Amino acid sequence: MAKEPIRILTKNWDIKNSNTIEAYIKNGGYKALEKAIKQMNPEQVMDEVKKSNLRGRGGAGFPAGVKWGFVPKDSDKLKYLCVNADEGEPGTFKDRYIMTLDPHMLLEGIAITSYAVGISAAYIYIRNEYIESIAILKTAIQEAKAKNYLGASILGSNFNLEIYVHRGAGAYIAGEETGLIESLEGKRAMPRIRPPFPAAVGVFNCPTVVNNVETIACVPSIIEHGGEWFAGIGVSKDGGTKLYAVSGHVNNPGVYELPVGTSLQKILYEHAGGIKGGELKAVIPGGISASVLAARECDIAMDCQSVAKAGSMLGSAGIIVMNNRVCMVEALFNIAEFYAEESCGQCTPCRSGSHWIKNILERILHGKGKTDDLEIMLSFIPGIMGRTICAFGDALCGPVQSFITKFRDEFEYHIIEGKCNIRNKLDIL
Amino acid sequence: MEKVKVKINGKTVQVESGKNLIQAARLVGVEIPHFCYHEGLTVAGNCRMCLVEVEGEPKLMPACATYVREGLTVLTDTMKVKEARRAVLEFLLVNHPLDCPVCDQSGECKLQDYYMEHGKYESRFREKKIKRQKAKRIGPHIVLDQERCVLCTICIRFCREIVGKRQLGLFSRGDYACIDIFDIQPYDNIYSGNVADICPVGALTDGDFRFLCRAWFLQSTESICPGCSRGCNIYLHHQENKRYLGNGRRLFRVKPRYNPDVNKWWICDLGRYGCTFIDQKRIHEPQKRQNGSFIPVSWNEAYFEIAQLLASLTKRDSSSIGVILSPHLTNEDLFVSKEFFTNLGITDIHFSAVSPDLYHDDFLIKEDKFPNRKGAELIITNSGVASTDELLEKAKNGAYSCLFIIGQDIVKAYGEEHILQCLKKVETVIGQFSNENQTTPLVNYLLPAATFAEKCGSFINFEGRIQKIKQAFSPLHQSKIDWQILVELAKEMGKIMPYNNEQDILKKLSKEYKHFESLDYQKIGMHGLKLNGNE
C-alpha cells in the first residue's frame, strides 16, 4: 500500500486563491498560533521546535530551536526576527513559492516564532526582484492584522507583533545573515565578524533571530502536530519535509516536497521525470555553493549529513541537473563569474581570488589555457577556504575544487587542445 | 584593569582583558602583520593578514578581532600562518601596480615590508590587472590612487569615527570595489591629513609631500606642534643634505606622534601644514631701520648699538623700557628673558596671548593659539603691568622710550591702527622674530630668531603638561635661539648669564620656580609630564 505523501509546506498550494486568509483559515490556518498563545508558554513552543529537529533551510542547516535558544532571555533590549527571503542562491526557487502560494503559513510561522522568542518586530527581508511575492505578503499582512493574528494584543493576549516587508538591495551577499542585517540597517551588505552572533548582537545591535522562509513556514505544523511528529518524518537529527527545487536537464523541473532524506535518485527519476536531452552527467545538490556530484555519486539520501558525507552539502536543496552535453569548463566559468561578480569585496582572499579564478577560466575557455592553470586554481583554495569573514569564500571553493578534480580530463582537454571535446555541446553561457 | 594569562609562541604574558591578539603579541615582542587594523578605530577584520593559530579553533583567527581570555594559546609563526600571509599578499598584489619607484609611500609601505617578510613568491598572475583611477586630488591635501589601495577601509573609518563626517566611501563590489569621494564633494576636513599617515599603502598620499623626497632620506625629530595650546606630539621629518630637493625646504612634512594623553594618533591640518613657516619668509640677518628702509648689520653691530641704548636708558630710568614677550617662546626662552630684563631693573615685562584666530573644536584644536601660555603665566610674574593691554596703553601715553618685543606679532593681535598709536611716542622698537610679520616693518632693530624646530626646550600645554621639543636642524642663516640672543646681549653689556644650553636654564628654572621643582628633560620624557600644582 503506497503511503500517502506527507505535505506540510505545500498542503494548500493546489487550493484556489491559496494566498488569501479565507482559504488559509478554511484549511486550519492560524490554529497553531492560537494553540501556542492560548495553551503554551514561550518555552514550551521553543521546546517543541527543538524536539522537531528542524534545521535551517537556508543552506547552513543549523538547528532552528537551538538558534532561538541563543537569544539572551535577560536582555532588556528589543528583540528582532529577520526572515531571510533574499533567496539568491542560483538554483534555488522554493521560498518564492511559499510566499506567493501560501503567505499566511509564513506569517503564522513568524508569529509563533516571535511569541516563542519574545519578539515584537519582525522583518521579511525579501529579494527585490520578487515583486509578486512582495505585493502578496503586504496584502496578507493587512488581512492577518484585520483578523488580529498580527498587530497589538494578538488574539486577546498581551503579545504584540508588527511584520515589515523590507525589499532587498540586490546583492547575493545580502542573503548572508549578517550581510542581511547590515543591509536592513541601510548599509552595504557586508557580512560582520562573528562573534558576536546575531542572536546576541543583530539588527540595530539588538538580539536577532535570522531564519529562512522555509524554516519559519515549518513552525505552524510543528506546533499543530508536535515536535516529535515532525522529527519522525525526516531522518535522525534532521526532521520534517524539505522543498527540493529541481532545475536543469530534467523532464519535470519544479519544487517537490518530500521527507528530508529522500534519495536523490527518487527525486530525479520519480518526481522530476528523469534526465532530459541526454544522460546524467552531474548534479549540484544544494545551490551552486555546493560541490558538484558526478553521476556515479548521485546515489545518496538528501539530508544534511548524507550529502556532507558525499563531499557536498544539502545547502538550499536547489538541485541543478546537468546532462552529458554540458561542458564542465563552461559550467564552472558560469559559477565563477557569479562569485566574482557577487563577492562583497571586503576580505582580500575572496575579493581577489574569485576574480582571479574567473579570469583563468575565461582564458581556458578561449583556448589560451596554460598547463599549470588547474594547479594554480586549486592552490588558491587553502588560502580562501576558512580565511574570510563569511562563508562566501568557502562557497566559491567547493565548486572550483569539485569541478576541476572530478572532471579534470575536460579541463585538460581545453587547455591542451584549446577547444571543447563535448559532442553536440549545449550552449549554456 | 583585570588581567588574563595568555601564551603566545610559548611565552606566557599577562594582558589586560579587552585587548586583542595584535596588542597582546606586542607585549612579547611579536608584531603580527596587518593592514586594516588601527588601535584608534573600530575593527574591520577585512584584510585577513593578521590570521593566527588559536588553540581549540579549527580555523585561523583574525588577531585583530580575537580578544584575550584566560588560558588562550596562540601561535603566530607556524607554517599554516605563514602560508596564509603569503596567500593574502599574493591576492593583494594581483592588481597592485608596479609603481613603487614613483610612489611616495615607498620605503614606509606595509605592502613592501610585508612582501619582504612574508611574501617572496614567484608571480603566477597572467591575467589583466584591473585599471582604476590614479592621482586623483580628492581634497585640498590628499591625493588618491585607487590602484594602490588594498581596501582596508581604514580611511573610511577614520573619517566616520574620528572626524565625524562621511566624506569617503567604498564604491562598487568585489574586485572592482574602490575607495572614493561622493560625487564632487571633496575630502575636506580639518583632520584630513591623517589618512595619509594611516593608509598602510600608497593609496592616500599627502599632496604637500608629493614627489618631494624619498622617505628614506628623511630624518625624524620629536617635537611639539606650536599651533595651539593642545601641544600635539609630532615628528618633524626633515633633511638638509640634499638641498636640491624640495626647493630648499628643510622641513618636508609633519607627522603625528602618538601620545595617549594629548593627541592619541592624530594632528589637525592647521598644525600639519602650518609648520611650513619654518622655511618661509624668514628673517635672515640682523637689520636696522635707517631712513625708512632696513639695512643688514652684523650681530656685533646690533649687539653693540642695542647694548648702548639699553645701558643709557636704564642708567637714567629703567621704567622707560617695556617688554612684550610671547607664549610662542619656550619656558627656557621666557626664563632667560625675564632674568635678562629684570637684571636691567626693568619691571614692565608682560606677554601677550592675543590672537585674532579663535577657531577651535571639541577634539584637538584649542581656542588658545599659543603652545606655552601656561609656561608664560608661571614664569612672567611680578610685572609692573597687569597685562600687555596696560603696557601698550602706557606706551601710548609716552611712558617708554624703548619697547623690546620678542616673538609676538602685536599688529596682528591688536590691529595696525591701535599699535601705530601706541608706538607713536616710543623712540626705539627692538623686535626679535623668526619670520617676517605685520609688526616687523615697524621696528628699529630686527633680530632674527630661531623657530621651534631649530631649538630645544619645553612648552606647557593647556592642561599643565610640560612637554619637550628637540632641535631638528640649526637656526636658518644668521638666526639664533631667543635666549641665546639675550645671553650674548648681556655679555655685550658686561653681564654674564651662565647658560650654555637648555639644561643649564632648566636647572636654574627648576630651582627658582616651585612649579618646575626638580624637573629635568629626562623626567619630562617623550610623552610629557603633568606639572604639580596645576589645577
CATH of the domain at A401: 1.20.1440.230
Interface contact A345-B49, CB threshold 8 A: no
Are residues A203 and A275 located together in one domain of the fold? no
pLDDT-based confidence at residue A428 (cuts at 50, 70, 90): confident
Are residues A388 and A285 located together in one domain of the fold? no
What cell does A261 get? 532524506
Q: Is residue A400 part of a domain?
A: yes
Q: What is the pLDDT of residues B477-491, one digit of tens each?
A: 999 999 999 999 999
Secondary element (H or E) of residue A381? helix A373-384
Mean pLDDT taken over chain B: 95
Q: Long-range contacts made by residues A406-412, C-beta under 8 angstroms, separation at least 24?
A: A406/A282, A406/A292, A406/A294, A407/A282, A407/A294, A407/A328, A408/A374, A410/A327, A410/A328, A410/A329, A411/A328, A411/A329, A411/A364, A411/A369, A411/A374, A412/A374
Q: What mean pLDDT is predicted for residues A25-43?
A: 97
Mean pLDDT taken over chain A: 96
Query: How many structural domains compose chain A?
Result: 3
Q: Which residues of B touch A342 (CB under 8 A)?
A: 173-174
Q: Which residues of A touch B170 (CB under 8 A)?
A: 188, 345
Specify the pLDDT at position B339: 97
Q: Shortest Cα distance from A377 to chain B (angstroms)?
A: 10
Query: Which residue in A340, A345, A356 is closest to B94 by CB distance?
Result: A356
**Rounded distance between C-alpha atoms, residue B406 and residue B418, angstroms:** 19
Are residues A217 and A259 located together in one domain of the fold? no
Specify the pLDDT at position B534: 47
Q: Is residue A424 part of a domain?
A: no
* CB atoms inside a 10 Å sphere around CB B305: 18
Q: Which residues of A touch B58 (CB under 8 A)?
A: 386
Q: Which residues of B touch A353 (CB under 8 A)?
A: 91
Residue B243 has pLDDT above 80, yes or no: no
Within 31-60 of B, beta carbons closer than 8 Å to A belong to 43-49, 51, 58-60
Nearest chain B residue to A171, by CA: B173
> Does residue A166 contact residue A139 with C-beta atoms inside 8 Å?
no
Interface contact B173-A342, CB threshold 8 A: yes
Parent domain of A318 = 241-323
Q: Shortest Cα distance from B200 to chain A (angstroms)?
A: 15
> Does residue B273 contact residue B193 with C-beta atoms inside 8 Å?
yes
**Rounded distance between C-alpha atoms, residue B334 and residue B345, angstroms:** 17
Residue with cell 609603481: B99
Q: What mean pLDDT is predicted for residues B509-532?
A: 93
* All structural domains of chain B: 3-93 (3.10.20.740), 98-109+123-211 (3.30.70.20), 287-530 (3.40.50.740)
Q: Which residues of A touch B59 (CB under 8 A)?
A: 386-387
Q: Shortest Cα distance from B438 to chain A (angstroms)?
A: 52
Are residues A36 and A138 located together in one domain of the fold? yes
Task: Select from A295, A323, A351 the last residue of a domain.
Answer: A323
Are residues A172 and A41 located together in one domain of the fold? yes
Interface contact A344-B47, CB threshold 8 A: no
Interface contact B91-A363, CB threshold 8 A: no
Q: What is the pLDDT of residues A395-417, one digit of tens each?
A: 999 999 999 999 999 999 999 99
Are residues A228 and A261 located together in one domain of the fold? no
> With an 8 Å Cβ cutoff, is A188 touching chain B?
yes
Q: Is residue A395 part of a domain?
A: yes
Q: Is residue A245 part of a domain?
A: yes
Are residues A143 and A280 located together in one domain of the fold? no
Specify the pLDDT at position A5: 82
Residue B532 has pLDDT above 90, yes or no: no
Q: Is residue A160 part of a domain?
A: yes
**Rounded distance between C-alpha atoms, residue B270 and residue B257, angstroms:** 16
> With an 8 Å Cβ cutoff, is B174 touching chain A?
yes
Best residue in B42, B46, B122, B132 to probe A by mutation, most A CBs within 10 Å? Answer: B46
Q: Is residue A16 part of a domain?
A: no
Q: Which amino acid is at B350?
A: H
Q: Is residue A426 part of a domain?
A: no
Task: Select from A233, A251, A277 the last residue of a domain.
Answer: A233
Are residues A363 and A224 located together in one domain of the fold? no
What cell does B35 get? 593592514
Q: Which residues of A touch B46 (CB under 8 A)?
A: 346-348, 389
Q: Shortest Cα distance from B112 to chain A (angstroms)?
A: 17
Are residues A206 and A252 located together in one domain of the fold? no
DSSP character for A304? Answer: H
Within 75-134 of B, beta carbons closer than 8 Å to A belong to 83-84, 86-88, 90-92, 94-95, 124-128, 130
pLDDT-based confidence at residue B535 (cuts at 50, 70, 90): very low
CATH of residue A98: 3.40.50.11540
Residue B163 has pLDDT above 70, yes or no: yes
> With an 8 Å Cβ cutoff, is A183 touching chain B?
no
Q: Is residue A308 part of a domain?
A: yes
> With an 8 Å Cβ cutoff, is A287 touching chain B?
no
pLDDT-based confidence at residue B533 (cuts at 50, 70, 90): low
pLDDT-based confidence at residue A63 (cuts at 50, 70, 90): very high
CATH of residue A300: 3.10.20.600
Q: What is the ipTM of this complex?
A: 0.93
Q: Which residues of B touch A352 (CB under 8 A)?
A: 91-92, 94-95, 175
Are residues A167 and A303 located together in one domain of the fold? no
Are residues A131 and A70 located together in one domain of the fold? yes
Query: Which residue in A342, A370, A384 is closest to B174 by CB distance?
Result: A342
Question: How many pairs of residues across A and B have Cβ atoms under 8 Å apart?
Answer: 99
Interface contact A344-B173, CB threshold 8 A: yes
Greatest C-alpha distance within chain B: 89
Interface contact A345-B88, CB threshold 8 A: no
Q: What mean pLDDT is predicted for residues A244-267?
A: 97
Specify the pLDDT at position A3: 62
Residue with cell 596588542: B23
Interface contact B94-A352, CB threshold 8 A: yes
Task: Select from A323, A356, A385 the last residue of a domain.
Answer: A323
**Rounded distance between C-alpha atoms, residue A338 and residue A318, angstroms:** 16
pLDDT-based confidence at residue B247 (cuts at 50, 70, 90): confident
Specify the pLDDT at position A1: 41
Within 338-397 of A, beta carbons closer than 8 Å to B belong to 340-349, 351-356, 359-360, 363, 370, 372, 376, 380, 382-384, 386-389
**Rounded distance between C-alpha atoms, residue B134 and residue B482, angstroms:** 46
Are residues A53 and A189 located together in one domain of the fold? yes
